[in-house]
Amino acid sequence: MMAIVMMQRAKRLTCCPITFTFSWNSLCFHSAANIEDHQTLYRVLEACKHSFNSGTATQTHARIIKFGYGAYPSLVAILISTYAHCHRLNLARRLIHQIFSWDFDLVSVNIVIETLMRIGECNFAKKVFDKMPTRDTVTWNSVIGGYVKNARFEEALAFFREMLSSNVEPDAFTFASILTGCARLGALNHAHWVHDQMIQKKIELNFILSSSLVDMYSKCGAIQTAKQVFESVRRDDVSVWNAMIHGLAIHGLGLDAIAIFSKMEDEHVLPDSITFIGILTACSHCGLVEQGRKHFDLMTSCYSIQPQLQHYGAMVDLLGRVGLLEEAHAIIASMPMEPDIVIWRALLSACRTYGKPELGEVAIANISRLRSGDYVLLSNIYCSVKRWDSAERVREMMKKTGIRKNRGKSWVEFKGVIHRFKAGDRSHPETEAIYKVLEGLIQRIKLEGFTPVTGLVLMDVSEEEKEENLNCHSEKLALAYGLLKTSPGTDIRVSKNLRICHDCHCWIKLVSRVLCRVIIVRDRIRFHRFEDGLCSCGDYW
């Protein structure tokens, strides 16, 4: 019966108003059997998409029709994506329109949406979604989960709100996706709201949702709430323990993370490789060298877990942060597998901190594809040891190759809305008020004796320009907006896409003391809780 339905759909496709002329010999198929394989056709379309070969794409489309694969949702989805990449948007849109005229059932359309999301075509998935006369829970989950996986978290939240106002109820899968989105966004107000929705709808907690809740509150800066959730849920699955250990690690609570690990052993829950990544990360953020060495050895001696790249990377990071660069380099040399870029970058970062340009050059030599951050790290290493000529050569190399330093981005949540700022940004509707607050704050902090840390700013500008550059960092703009919109005594939470710089770190410490405010900054590496002139990282990050 299914075969008859598929043949009927394929026949409808032959009536499609798209006309194809092709020379199939241009396709590199090895046998007739391969031609009839829909997976082979899928791979050909993938190749067409990446090579922008619209001619072969249309030939493949015709072949799909000929062999009766026109009703395969995955092929329809990859066709839409391929035409979009080849700038044949008219054909992509026509396929979307015709999905519904071909009487695709709801299951098939859901597969189309899921496939489009999986290959990153969120906009076309939304077009299919908008045309659907009926939607079920799977449809909404595919869209919401797809936006989360493609790091479009605010859109995922918007769809979740829309789902709540529809006649389709969210389920555990819906909440698993949206909890992840809130965690990645770091938006605490959204996190509380989503959690409240789970309680109202009486969603039963499983180990996935429990670990997601702990992870979400941790990554939104509410580590105490994360602890409360952890203590209130079933903990017989290792993932819940892992979420708590990782949460404590990013908050710099290394001893607490080790205590949780000990409690885990007492409750006879076996750790896995992810558990040890969390423990080693916690040790790295707190400089707990002996504890790090102990748990690294414990992996193999007690639990027969062979260290993977991430474990070696955490050990290199731990040793590098405390200045044991030679030992870190020795670990890299002893690894049974090839070290990856992340490990070499951890060593490079340590070389910057401790002014070791020679070892930094070794790290650079082993990074096959240099990014802007690698050039900046190397330049900063040279600056730290006053090798200005070498630093200038790196900057010139960046200019010649067209590589620019990654631009800082920060965001702050206010009344459920995310406000984003770039370094030097003046696009916000309240820019004038924001800069007025910032300028007043800068002057006030200077009176407290603060001196801008200009040593690592680009060298080809004046001191005044260097200082101006630092004053417009994105986290300072986000903080100024938070001060503008909140009352005294309210915590301010700022998220940032890069590691916080030394100047901003010193500056925000003073702001927290002068204004008697708690300021929580989540950077790319970890959380910093500024209070009364001190930071939770202990100036070690």
Could you report the per-residue pLDDT of 247-277, keeping only the tens digit for each?
A: 999 999 999 999 999 999 999 999 999 999 9
Whether residue 456 lies inside any domain: the answer is: yes
Task: Tell me the mean pLDDT in the region 341-355.
Answer: 85
What's the average model confidence in pLDDT over 469-487?
91
The better pLDDT of the pair 187, 382 is held by: 187
Question: d(Cα 316, Cα 313) in Å, to the nearest integer?
Answer: 5
Averaged over 16-34, what is the pLDDT? 37
Q: Is the pLDDT of residue 446 over 70?
A: yes
- The pLDDT, as a whole number, for residue 5 is 38
pLDDT-derived band at 456 (thresholds 50, 70, 90) equals low
- 119-134: pLDDT as tens digits: 888 998 999 899 888 9
Q: Does the pLDDT value for residue 340 go beyond 90?
A: no
Is position 332 within any domain? no
Decide which of 134, 165, 189 is a domain's last residue: 134
Task: Indicate whether 75 belongs to any domain.
Answer: yes
Confidence of residue 323 (pLDDT cuts 50, 70, 90): very high
Residue 426, phi then psi, degrees to nearest 5: -135, 25
Identify the domain containing residue 481 by its residue range.
Answer: 410-535
pLDDT band of 316, cuts 50, 70, 90: very high
Residue type, 406: N
What percent of the chain shows pLDDT beyond 90?
A: 54
Enter the pTM of the model. 0.81
In the three-class reduction of DSSP (H, G, I as helix; E, B as strand; rest coil), residue 495 is classed as strand
The whole-chain average pLDDT of the chain stands at 85
pLDDT of residue 234: 95
In a domain, 39, yes or no: yes
Cα-Cα-Cα-Cα torsion 110, 112, 118, 124, nearest 10 degrees, comes to -110
Domain finish residue from 134, 158, 191? 134
Kindly state whether residue 435 falls inside one of the protein's structural domains: yes
d(CA 129, CA 126): 5
Closest CA to 410 of 281, 249, 538, 520: 520
Q: Say if 373 falls within a structural domain.
A: no
Between 398 and 535, the higher pLDDT residue: 535
Cα-to-chain-centroid distance, residue 220: 14
Domain boundary among 106, 134, 162: 134
For residues 442 and 473, what is the distance between their CA atoms, to the nearest angstrom?
12
Of 19-33, 160-174, 365-379, 480-494, give the lowest mean pLDDT range.
19-33
Residue at 484 is within a domain: yes
pLDDT score for 402: 64
- Per cent of the chain over pLDDT 70 is 84
Distance of CA 195 to the CA centre of its chain: 22
Whether pLDDT at 20 is above 70: no
- In the chain, how many domains are there? 2
- Domain annotation covers residue 290: no
